[in-house]
């Protein structure tokens, strides 16, 4: 906080607290124009009279207590501008402590799982329950709670892999992340050639297309696309070049979406999890993902 806002918060907070105290004192005083304590105020509803009685004591003390409490709180905990409080509490400190506690508690369990191979773990019910919990905490926001993905986020429960479905390949994907870079071709090829190659791509999965256009598209494919998608269009797992011959489409499989992918390109990013989760948890997650398509 800048010095200005530091003092802004301090002054506002303290003025508010002392104003509460003053308000209580002020309302307790009997003013000359009012009825004496215990006397009718002159207000009456349906024959019921209001007396000028003081607040019940316990209630009054409750107000005093909240004032003292708030002052004590502001001394111990952060709240007054940049003053950290004498208790040394911070939300980050509490978070770090909770992480340390949970690592101490569950770390040995993950370490024990980590000693086993991924295919072995995939058959271990207890390990898979723990893996499922990790997955729902860290992966579902992108890959879905059933791991079946969505447009732009790959399905992890099928046999179709951008980067390979072997245990080590899955573990690499999670540890170090992946960047799928599909360049946009419109500037280089122009509208017509993009249309042709889009037709050729669709013919690879057996769709009926304009044959002359697809043939022209094949020429383009053989020069521009084979490096990443292979001569047969089956992809290249080293680069994450998608398999174009199946009916699984990461970025949507309608004719329009496919053409758009080729024209504009796509960039997909799978974040690295090695630093964030640690090797043991990633190992367990890899086993969980592996188990989804290797029942």
Residue with tokens 């599909």, as numbered in its chain? 182
CA 295 – CA 292 distance, rounded (Å): 6
Which position among 53, 90, 102, 141 is part of the footprint of ligand HEC (CB under 6 A)? 141
Least Cα distance to 152 among 252, 256, 258, 253 occurs for: 252
Least Cα distance to 250 among 162, 144, 159, 138 occurs for: 162
Give the side-chain half-sphere CA count within 13 A for 110.
Answer: 20
Cα dihedral 277→281→287→291 (10° resolution): -80
Residue among 81 and 195 whose Cβ is closer to ligand HEC = 195
Residue among 81 and 180 whose Cβ is closer to ligand HEC = 180
**Does the protein bind ligand HEC through residue 74 (CB under 6 A)?**
no
Residue among 6 and 169 whose Cβ is closer to ligand HEC = 169
List C-alpha distances in Å: 181 to 188, 254, 262. Answer: 16, 20, 12
**Does the protein bind ligand HEC through residue 219 (CB under 6 A)?**
no
CA 34 – CA 288 distance, rounded (Å): 76
Structure tokens at 1: 């906080």
> What is the length of the chain?
295
**Does the protein bind ligand HEC through residue 130 (CB under 6 A)?**
no
**Does the protein bind ligand HEC through residue 175 (CB under 6 A)?**
no
Residue among 80 and 220 whose Cβ is closer to ligand HEC = 220
List C-alpha distances in Å: 203 to 71, 81, 90, 197, 244. Answer: 74, 66, 60, 10, 10
Segment interacting with ligand HEC, rule: CB under 6 A, options 20-28, 42-50, 52-60, 268-276: 268-276
**Does the protein bind ligand HEC through residue 128 (CB under 6 A)?**
no
Structure tokens at 188: 């280089």
Q: x/- string (CB under 6 A) for ligand HEC, residues 180-209?
A: xxxx-x-----------x---x--------
Q: Could you tell me the smallest distance in angstroms from the CB atom of residue 171 to ligand HEC?
A: 8
Interactions with ligand HEC, residue window 39-68 (CB under 6 A): none
Which position among 10, 20, 109, 228 is part of the footprint of ligand HEC (CB under 6 A)? 228
Which position among 10, 67, 224, 272 is part of the footprint of ligand HEC (CB under 6 A)? 224
**Does the protein bind ligand HEC through residue 254 (CB under 6 A)?**
no
- Residue 147 has a CB neighbour count (10 Å cut-off) of 21
**Does the protein bind ligand HEC through residue 122 (CB under 6 A)?**
no
Least Cα distance to 224 among 182, 258, 269, 254 occurs for: 182
Segment interacting with ligand HEC, rule: CB under 6 A, options 36-44, 48-56, 92-100, 151-159: 151-159
Residue among 79 and 158 whose Cβ is closer to ligand HEC = 158
The site for ligand HEC (CB under 6 A) is made up of 138-139, 141-143, 153-154, 156, 161-163, 170, 173-174, 178-183, 185, 197, 201, 220-221, 224-225, 227-229, 239-242, 244, 249-251, 258, 261-262, 266, 268-271, 273, 285, 289
């Amino acid at each position: 906080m800048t010095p200005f806002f530091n003092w802004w918060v301090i002054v506002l907070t303290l003025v508010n607290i002392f104003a509460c105290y003053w308000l209580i004192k002020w309302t307790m005083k009997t003013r000359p124009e009012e009825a004496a304590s215990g006397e009718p105020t002159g207000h009456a509803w349906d024959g019921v009279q209001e007396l000028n009685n003081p607040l019940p004591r316990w209630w009054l003390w409750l107000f005093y207590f909240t004032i003292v409490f708030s002052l004590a709180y502001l001394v111990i905990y952060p709240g007054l501008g940049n003053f950290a409080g004498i208790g040394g509490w911070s939300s980050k400190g509490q978070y770090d402590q909770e992480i340390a506690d949970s690592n101490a508690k569950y770390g040995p369990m993950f370490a024990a799982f980590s000693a086993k191979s991924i295919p072995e773990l995939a058959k271990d019910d207890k390990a898979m329950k723990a893996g499922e919990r990790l997955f729902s905490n860290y992966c579902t926001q992108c890959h879905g709670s059933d791991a079946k993905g969505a447009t732009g986020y790959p399905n992890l429960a099928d046999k179709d892999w951008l980067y390979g479905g072997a245990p080590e390949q899955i573990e690499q994907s999670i540890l170090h992340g992946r960047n799928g870079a599909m360049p946009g071709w419109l500037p280089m090829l122009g509208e017509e050639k993009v249309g042709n190659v889009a037709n050729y791509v669709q013919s690879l999965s057996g769709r009926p297309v304009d044959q002359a256009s697809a043939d022209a598209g094949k020429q383009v494919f053989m020069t521009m696309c084979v490096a990443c998608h292979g001569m047969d269009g089956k992809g290249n797992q080293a680069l994450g070049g998608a398999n174009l011959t199946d009916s699984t489409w990461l970025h949507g499989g309608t004719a329009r979406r496919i053409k758009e992918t080729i024209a504009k390109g796509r960039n997909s990013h799978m974040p690295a999890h090695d630093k964030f989760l640690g090797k043991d948890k990633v190992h367990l997650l890899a086993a969980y993902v592996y188990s989804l398509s290797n029942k």
